[in-house]
């Protein structure tokens, strides 16, 4: 077993609320400086900067997982993590199909920039990525599971866009693989505020929208190799694997 530092909630310049310098190259460089071993790119309702980040990380020793932060119809943010492009592409197709047919207003929400690994702009995503999809949380979790991904309830401590703010509590049949605590709460605070949610594994990531935020919070995975399957086992404390964050 080895320990891997994982920050699995990072936005790129594709997210309208993100800084424009959040391009694959800068993100990978910063991840290296912060000693991260695994990162995941999780833009709002889109995964179009994932492949460029995978290419930017080639030869660096950093593992990049693809993902998305999907907005459910209840306006709950759900992290969907995948390995490989095929499942991610299918997830993205489904999300696109269920976004409202509206265009992003760049002046108001910000630009949604698609870039390559050389910091070159390849285009702009015109969809209203900040909008809620028509998919409810249950449906999203079902699809993630059927595609072999991992689902994480985003920043459950936040007052907006979290499963707790939107739905008050986590219904029993909504089986997230893990819950994410934001960098705003310490482990001790989380233990007292969310004692009733100990039935779920907990993780904590940066939710970085700015370069300096990458790795400000990470979770240590004790696993054999950096694969999603290993992480899945770590989340359930199987075979000597586990997840830890302070």
- Residue 13 or 140 with smaller CB distance to another protein: 140
For residue 148, the minimal CB distance to another protein (Å) is 26
For residue 151, the minimal CB distance to another protein (Å) is 17
Q: Identify whether the C-beta of residue 49 lies closer than 8 Å to the C-beta of residue 121.
A: no
- Residue 36 or 163 with smaller CB distance to another protein: 163
Q: Identify whether the C-beta of residue 82 lies closer than 8 Å to the C-beta of residue 91.
A: yes
For residue 166, the minimal CB distance to another protein (Å) is 6
- Residue 171 or 239 with smaller CB distance to another protein: 171
In the complex, the residues that contact another protein under the rule CB under 8 A are 74-75, 136-137, 159, 164-169, 171
- Residue 26 or 157 with smaller CB distance to another protein: 157
CA distance 162 to 136: 13
In which residue are the tokens 């449906």 written? 139
For residue 94, the minimal CB distance to another protein (Å) is 19
CA distance 44 to 165: 18
User: Which positions ≥6 away from 161 have C-beta within 8 Å?
Assistant: 71, 75, 76, 77, 154, 155
């Amino acid at each position: 077993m080895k320990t891997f530092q994982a920050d699995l909630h990072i936005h790129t310049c594709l997210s309208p609320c993100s800084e424009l310098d959040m391009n694959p190259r800068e993100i990978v460089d910063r991840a290296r400086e912060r000693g991260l071993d695994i990162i995941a790119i999780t833009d709002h309702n889109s995964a179009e900067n994932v492949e460029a980040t995978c290419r930017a990380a080639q030869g660096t020793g950093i593992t990049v997982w693809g993902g998305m932060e999907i907005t459910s119809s209840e306006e709950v943010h759900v992290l969907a993590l995948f390995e490989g492009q095929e499942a991610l592409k299918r997830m993205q197709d489904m999300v696109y199909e269920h976004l409202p047919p509206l265009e992003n207003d760049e002046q108001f929400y910000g630009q949604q920039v698609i870039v390559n690994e050389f910091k070159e702009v390849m285009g702009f995503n015109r969809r209203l990525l900040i909008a809620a999809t028509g998919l409810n949380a249950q449906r999203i979790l079902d699809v993630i599971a059927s595609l072999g991904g991992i689902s994480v309830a985003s920043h459950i401590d936040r007052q907006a866009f979290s499963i707790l703010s939107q739905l008050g509590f986590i219904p029993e049949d909504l089986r997230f693989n893990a819950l994410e605590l934001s960098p705003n709460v310490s482990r001790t605070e989380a233990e007292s505020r969310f004692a009733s949610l100990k039935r779920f594994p907990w993780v904590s990531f940066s939710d970085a929208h700015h370069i300096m935020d990458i790795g400000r919070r990470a979770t240590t995975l004790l696993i054999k190799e950096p694969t999603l399957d290993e992480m899945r086992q770590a989340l359930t404390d199987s075979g000597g694997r586990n997840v830890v964050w302070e």
